[in-house]
């Protein structure tokens, strides 16, 4: 059943993107609120598909840590494609820092460009860093929160946190509080080529804020320790949920 559910979800993923994205394309080009609503609507469709098709509910924790109506620098762990979608559930108008190649993808890339996402080349050059900071400053000045995956690319669920220097540069340049975000998404939605998507329980947890103004070293230590401990806890919790699902058997696991 797992391969079948995974295939059905993949079909839902692309079909919902095409239908919602193409239906709203013209009005979203004219009115930004429609653009933001469209991206959020697709996120809700994917979260629904995860819960109903894959039997994988998504839980969002720690939202009480977020300030109201004020931009934040989100520093999130990155284990799967889902990490670039689900935050639309709890961030009103996020500015994601994304690899430039994503901007060229059909439908999704169109919306990313129109929404003012921040494309970067991943060579780590000084020019790329300056471009990222300039784009993030512009987004924050417009009241938008900035989302960065500080490890640079998707990581295995058990990988230790290894932060790239770009997140420290952003933290200093924006002078915003930083919200670490821990995930266990890779247990259910592996990277491309990593096998079918599996049932379980996904958690996105916003951790206590790191105040602005820390030294680079203190900030990196705080962020690393926060992400490492929370991710370890969420992965263990997710594995327990998958074990309970497997123990329940195909009939009970597929119910609901």
- In this predicted structure, what is the pLDDT of residue 255? 40
- In this predicted structure, what is the pLDDT of residue 42? 95
- In this predicted structure, what is the pLDDT of residue 100? 86
pLDDT in tens, 80-113: 999 999 999 999 899 999 988 888 888 888 899 9
CA separation for the pair 233, 66 (Å, rounded): 21
Q: Does 118 score more than 60 pLDDT?
A: yes
Mean pLDDT, to the nearest integer, of 110-139? 88
Asked if residue 244 belongs to a domain, the reply is yes
Asked if residue 210 belongs to a domain, the reply is yes
Nearest to 202, CA basis, from 40, 55, 23, 9: 55
Q: How many structural domains are present in the chain? A: 1
pLDDT band at 249 (very low <50, low <70, confident <90, very high): low
Specify the CATH number for the domain of residue 182. 3.40.1130.10
CB 56 within 8 A of CB 188: yes
Asked if residue 47 belongs to a domain, the reply is no
- In this predicted structure, what is the pLDDT of residue 254? 43
- In this predicted structure, what is the pLDDT of residue 99? 87
- In this predicted structure, what is the pLDDT of residue 252? 46
Asked if residue 178 belongs to a domain, the reply is yes
- pTM here is 0.91
b/e burial code for range 123-138 (CB count within 10 A of at least 16 → b): eeeeebbebbbebbee
pLDDT in tens, 55-64: 999 999 999 9
Asked if residue 67 belongs to a domain, the reply is yes
pLDDT in tens, 191-247: 876 789 999 999 999 999 999 999 999 999 999 999 999 999 999 999 999 998 788
Asked if residue 200 belongs to a domain, the reply is yes
CB 223 within 8 A of CB 167: yes
Asked if residue 234 belongs to a domain, the reply is yes
Asked if residue 165 belongs to a domain, the reply is yes
pLDDT band at 4 (very low <50, low <70, confident <90, very high): very high
CA separation for the pair 99, 107 (Å, rounded): 16
- Its domain, for residue 204, covers 57-253
Question: For all residues of the chain together, what is the average pLDDT?
Answer: 92
Q: Does 43 score more than 70 pLDDT?
A: yes
pLDDT in tens, 131-158: 999 999 999 999 999 999 999 899 999 9
Nearest to 29, CA basis, from 111, 119, 131: 111
């Amino acid at each position: 059943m797992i391969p079948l559910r995974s295939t059905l979800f993949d079909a839902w993923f692309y079909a919902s993107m095409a239908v919602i994205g193409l239906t709203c394309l013209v009005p979203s080009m004219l009115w930004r609120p429609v653009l933001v609503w469209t991206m959020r609507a697709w996120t809700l469709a994917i979260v629904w598909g995860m819960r109903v098709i894959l039997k994988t509910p998504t839980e969002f924790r720690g939202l009480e840590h977020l300030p109201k109506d004020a931009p934040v620098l989100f520093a999130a762990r990155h284990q799967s494609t889902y990490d670039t979608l689900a935050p639309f559930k709890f961030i009103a108008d996020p500015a994601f820092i994304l690899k430039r190649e994503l901007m060229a993808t059909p439908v999704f890339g169109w919306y990313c460009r129109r929404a003012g996402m921040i494309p970067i080349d991943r060579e780590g050059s000084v020019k790329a860093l300056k471009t990222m900071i300039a784009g993030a400053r512009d987004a924050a000045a417009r009241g938008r929160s900035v989302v960065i995956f500080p490890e640079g690319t998707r990581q295995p669920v058990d990988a230790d946190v290894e932060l790239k220097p770009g997140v420290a540069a952003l933290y200093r340049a924006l002078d915003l509080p930083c919200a670490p975000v821990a995930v266990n998404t890779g247990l259910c939605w592996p990277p491309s080529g990593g096998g079918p998507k599996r049932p379980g329980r996904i958690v996105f947890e916003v951790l206590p804020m790191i105040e602005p103004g820390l030294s680079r070293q203190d900030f990196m230590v705080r962020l690393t320790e926060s992400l490492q401990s929370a991710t370890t806890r969420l992965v263990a919790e997710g594995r327990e949920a998958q074990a309970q699902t497997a123990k329940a058997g195909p009939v009970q696991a597929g119910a609901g």
